Amino acid sequence: MTQGDAEINVTVTLELPGSLRDLNEGRPTVELRAAPAAASTTPSTVGDALAALRGVRPAVYDRLVTERGEVRTHVNLFVDGEEIRQTGGLGTPLAEDARILVVPAVSGG
Amino acid sequence: MPDSPAGLRTAGGDVLLMVGTTKGAFLLRSRTGERADAAAWEADGPHFPGEDVYALAFDQRAGRRTLWAAPGSAFFGTTLRRSDDFGATWTGKDERPVRFPEGSDLELKRIWQIHPGRESEPDRLFLGVEPSCLYESTDGGDSWAPVEGFLAHPHRQRWTPGAGGMCMHTILTDPGDADRMLVAISTGGVYRTDDGGWTWPARNVGVRAEFLPDKHPEFGQCVHKVAHHPSRPERLFLQNHWGLYRSDDWGDSWTDVANGVPSDFGFAMAVHPHEADTVYIVPLESDGFRCTPGARLRVYRTRDAGASWKPLERGLPQEDAYETVLRDALDVDSARPAGVYFGTRSGKVYASADDGESWTLLRDGLPPVVCVKAAVVGAA
The Cα of B79 is separated from the nearest Cα of chain A by a number of Å equal to 10
* B96 interface with A at CB cutoff 8 Å: yes
- Domain boundaries in chain A? 3-103
Q: B96 to chain A: which residues are within 8 Å by CB?
A: 59, 62
Q: B95 to chain A: which residues are within 8 Å by CB?
A: 59
Query: Does the domain made of A3-103 have the CATH classification 1.10.10.10?
Result: no
The verdict on a CB contact (< 8 Å) between B100 and A19 is no
Minimum CA–CA partner of A21 in chain B: B94
Whole-prediction pTM: 0.94
HEC readout, chain B:
CCCCCCCCCCCCCEEEEEEEECCEEEEEEEEHHHCCCHHHCEEEEEECCCCEEEEEEEECHHHCCEEEEEEEECCCEECCEEECCCCCCCECCCCCCCCCCCCCCCCCCEEEEEECCCCCCCCCEEEEEECCEEEEECCCCCCCEECHHHHCCCCHHHCCCECCECEEEEEEEECCEEEEEEEEEECEEEEEECCCCCCCCECCCCCCCCCCCCCCCCCCECEEEEEEECCEEEEEEEEECCCEEEECCCCCCCEECCCCCCCCEEEEEEECCCCCCCEEEEEECCCCCCCCHHHCCCEEEECCCCCCCEEECECCCCCCCCCCCCCECEEECCCCCCCEEEECCCCCEEEECCCCCECEEEECCCCCEEEEEEEECCCC
The Cα of A107 is separated from the nearest Cα of chain B by a number of Å equal to 9
Q: Report all structural domains of chain B as residue ranges with CATH numbers, in order of start.
A: 14-376 (2.130.10.10)
Q: Please report, in tens digits, the pLDDT of each residue of chain B (380 residues total).
A: 777 899 999 999 999 999 999 999 999 999 999 999 999 999 999 999 999 999 999 999 999 999 999 999 999 999 999 999 999 999 988 889 999 999 999 999 999 999 999 999 999 999 999 999 999 999 999 999 999 999 999 999 999 988 888 999 999 999 999 999 999 999 899 999 999 999 999 999 999 999 899 999 999 999 999 999 999 999 999 999 999 999 999 999 999 999 999 999 999 999 999 999 999 999 999 888 999 999 999 999 999 999 999 999 999 999 999 999 999 999 999 999 999 999 999 999 999 999 999 999 999 999 999 999 999 999 76
